Structure formats: C-alpha cells, structure tokens
Amino acid sequence: MSYVRWGPDSDVYVYDSVRGGTDCCACNLNGGRTYNTTTHAAMIRHLRRHQDAGDQVPDDAIDALAEET
C-alpha cells in the first residue's frame, strides 16, 4: 500500500515494504537509497525530518500512517 507518491505536492514516496515495515523510496535524507522503518510511528518521525529539511510531505500521508499505528 502506498501512503504517498511523488508529485507536485510531495517530495516523498512511502509504501508498505515487501520486506516488512515501511519504505521511503529513493530517500533524499538517505543519500537516495530506500529508507526502511519497522513501525509506522518511526516512519512518521522520519517524514517529520523530511518536513524539517524543507521537503513537501502531505499531512494526509502522516494521518494515514498514524491511523495504523
């Protein structure tokens, strides 16, 4: 399941990983490599770091992750 995809209002692509956990694909904060977290709460913290770095992250992506936490 995708929580958010790249687009005009998003600089991140986040989805449930086939390896388990949640992936931030081609993550700007991870040198362009996929960043994986084992919990949705950890991904929310990661997405807040993206926002702090100036990246666009739609609030509904964080809300969707929070609903499953």
Q: What is the pLDDT of residues 1-39, one digit of tens each?
A: 899 999 999 999 999 999 999 999 999 999 999 999 999
Whether the Cβ atoms of residue 25 and residue 36 lie closer than 8 Å to each other: no
Q: What is the pTM of this model?
A: 0.94
- Residue 23 falls within a domain, yes or no? yes
Cα–Cα separations (whole angstroms), residue 55 to 15, 36, 67, 68: 17, 18, 22, 23
- Residue 28 falls within a domain, yes or no? yes
Structural domain range at position 25: 2-61
State residue 4 phi and psi, 5-degree precision. -165, 145
- Residue 44 falls within a domain, yes or no? yes
- Residue 22 falls within a domain, yes or no? yes
- Residue 43 falls within a domain, yes or no? yes
Q: Total structural domains in the chain?
A: 1
| Cα 69 to Cα 53: distance, rounded to the nearest angstrom | 24
pLDDT value at residue 58? 97
In this prediction, residue 68 has a pLDDT band, given cuts at 50, 70 and 90, of confident
Checking if the pLDDT of 69 tops 90, the result is no
User: How many other C-beta atoms are found inside a 10 Å radius of the C-beta of residue 29?
Assistant: 16
